[in-house]
Structure 1
Amino acid sequence: FAIDDNNNAPTFEPDLIRAIFKHIWARKAQERERNEMENTRPKTVGAGTSKKNRPTSSNANALKLSCELLRIFITGSVQRASTIAEAEGGTKIEATHLERILPQLLLDF
């Protein structure tokens, strides 16, 4: 976490989110290459560059937005789990509390 200049709320480092995105993009590119090798049929590519050859990148605003969305999602998750923990008389959030709110979290997306 880092402190955001605007509202002093803890947020994720954009470099961390960029690294996560790059890791996912690299894995997806490897999967596409593997699938293309398995499918030996020749494919025709239209005008422009194929997806395989295009570099994937993100700009600073997209990373800021991703960090903020992740922060809000996690904050909401902790609040929901803490409500369940308090209702059960607990003082700690445990994995079972997170498991119980999982359907709600999935519906948020």
Structure 2
Amino acid sequence: MLWKTALRAAGPVAAALVLATGLTGSAQAATGNFVYIRVDTQQPNTLTNPSGTCISIPGGAASVTNNTNQPVTLYAGIPCDDTRNIITVDTNGGTWNWDQSGDVAAVRMTVA
């Protein structure tokens, strides 16, 4: 019941984040920043210390830079499963660019 109280206190933004990322008991956060350029706005977005859950990428990703301490796997959609796996990007500055942008719709950190 404690999580319900926390959601009520945090408001609709927290609820939307929980729905977008899903719930998992084994998720751990990576340390660092995951930066992506949105397809729809061509503006950078940053995820700081992202969790090991499947995270939706609003607007799609045209390119990414993984400045975290964990590899990141890019997916064509949710759920993050092997049928939608695009590529895994290395840690500490690994990058990925796609000329047919819009295919990346989700990301998940690989927690070692």
What TM-score does the superposition give when structure 1 sets the normalisation length?
0.19
Identify, as 1 or 2, the structure richer in helix: 1
| Greater fraction of residues in strand | 2
TM-score by length of 2: 0.19
